[in-house]
Structure 1
């Protein structure tokens, strides 16, 4: 859809090469959308890795991961004596919420159709 825009046609009519049109006109127009989409999808990647490691299908014991730490926190001895081991749960929740809120704010900022108040 970007290559059919008027500014691309204007650049072609001015004699710009295809490489120049791509690097100077098209890439800057959709770079913000790629960044926003990456930030919005990043919590899902963290959630997938954590859940697979928690279930024992992802990273295993010698590697420190949120899923491994959450799996260790299920031990009854840790639940009774070392409550501080539940800190990874708070980190996980805050990390996911931070990326969701930042991605949502960037999506709203990059939306060309939103009403400016």
Structure 2
């Protein structure tokens, strides 16, 4: 899906008047790609990557929590939260819920970073 969107955006930018003007003035394909197309598409690519990281974090944590992700000798937020499923452990050691707080903070941080980057890099709202 991501590649299709980038390809559509690149073909849309390719038909804009300033790209056609650069082509008419004799600019090479490489110059048009590096000066016009890549900068127009890069904002979306950075924002999409930043906003997809929370999904990866939650997916890995959920799989590790279920025992299907990273296995026990390696540390993972999901592995650490799996210990909190035992009510007796939770009653004795309430701090084993701290990885859940860190998951929440990491996901929210990446979401806020993605929103900020989208606001800063969106050429439609510039100006």
**TM-score, normalising length: structure 1:** 0.87
Q: Deviations over 1:38-64 (max 9, x none)?
A: 111111111111111111111110111
Shift of 1:114: 4.1
4+ residue stretches of structure 1 with deviation over 4 A? none
Q: 1:85 to 1:42 in 2, by over 3 A?
A: same
Between the two proteins, the alignment pairs up a number of residues equal to 116
Pair 1:17 & 2:42 matched: no
1:93 alignment counterpart: 104
Worse-superposed segment, 31-40 or 74-83:
74-83
Contact 2:50 2:114 in 1 (8 A): yes
Alignment of 1:1-117 (within 5 A): 1-114=12-125
Q: Deviations over 1:25-83 (max 9, x none)?
A: 21112211111111111111111111111111111101111111111222334212222
Contact 2:43 2:122 in 1 (8 A): no
Any stretches of 5+ residues in structure 1 without a counterpart?
none
Distance (whole Å) between structure 2 residues aligned to residue 68 and residue 48 of structure 1? 13
**TM-score, normalising length: structure 2:** 0.81
- RMSD of aligned alpha carbons: 1.8
Q: 1:112 to 1:43 in 2, by over 3 A?
A: same
